[in-house]
Amino acid sequence: MRRVTYSPLNASLGEIRLIKLLPGSFDDDIDIELVHAPLLDVIEPQYEALSYVWGCMENPVSITVHQVKNNRHFQTLSQSLHPLERRPNKLRKASRLVAETLSITKNLSVALRYLRYENSHRVVWCDAICINQKDDGERSTEVSRIGIIYSRAQQVIVWLGPEGEDSNLAFDTIRWMGNDAKYDHNTASFTFRGGSLMENMTSLPMIAVNFKSEWNAINSLFHREWFTRLWYVILSNSAIFTTRELDSLPVSSPAF
């Protein structure tokens, strides 16, 4: 199977590439369809954007990429979350005739395995695949548009890495802390619900000593590499932080 070749993006349509992550179980090989979609003020395709750390470039993982090479067909993609379903059956079948391989980092491959559905596809944007990394001109243009791409996504999925032994504890603790907290945008300060555990902790710090495991779990979570980088996730309407699909922490952008 030959290495992937990218069809050029149509600048007049403001095109971006999107991944149709095909269904499969966790251990199945990763198969995607790579499609073009216009990203204009009047046309906004529905997709999720993935924010993650590329990870080590050693021992890359090969995935299978299916493409239709004729850009005329990409112009039909509009606001469907599953844009390829808008194509005639003949075109959907044709897209599977062009199968190529692409090498991605192990960290990204693990993220895609966790994020894909078993029985339906998922439309995702991620930089390593959706930008032709070997085309300096395209890469420069698309990097300058990343803020727009993130801001127009339905949501941003923040992949923090595989689940750790205390990840669930960290997410659960942050969740109940958030439920007790109220953020005042005018004063940029937090207050806690009267009589809540968080209010008691702020007034009686010794109570916090009883929650050493919870604080250690949160500390471990926030020391993951993702938090050492500068990201565009703040531009999104919503974001979900996750170490696996079922244990996620939704955060709306005003919380940043």
Distance between CA 128 and CA 131 in Å, rounded? 6
Residue of 256, 245, 220 whose CA lies nearest to 50: 245
Average pLDDT, the chain: 78
Asked whether the predicted pLDDT for residue 229 surpasses 60, the reply is yes
Residue 205's pLDDT band (cuts 50, 70, 90): low
Q: What is the pLDDT of residues 144-153, one digit of tens each?
A: 998 889 889 9
Phi-psi region at 81: left, alpha or beta (left = phi > 0; alpha = psi -120 to 50): alpha
For the chain, domain boundaries: 11-159, 163-223
pLDDT of residue 198: 67
CB 114 within 8 Å of CB 24: no
Asked whether the predicted pLDDT for residue 168 surpasses 60, the reply is yes
How many angstroms separate the Cα of 189 from the Cα of each of 226, 255, 256?
A: 25, 11, 12
Instruction: Indicate the SS3 state at residue 76.
Output: helix
CB 87 within 8 Å of CB 98: no
Q: What is the pLDDT of residues 61-79, one digit of tens each?
A: 999 999 876 544 443 443 3
Q: What is the pLDDT of residues 28-42, one digit of tens each?
A: 999 999 999 998 876
Point out which residues pair with 101 in neighbouring strands. 3, 64
Residue type, 192: F
Whether this model's pTM surpasses 0.85: no
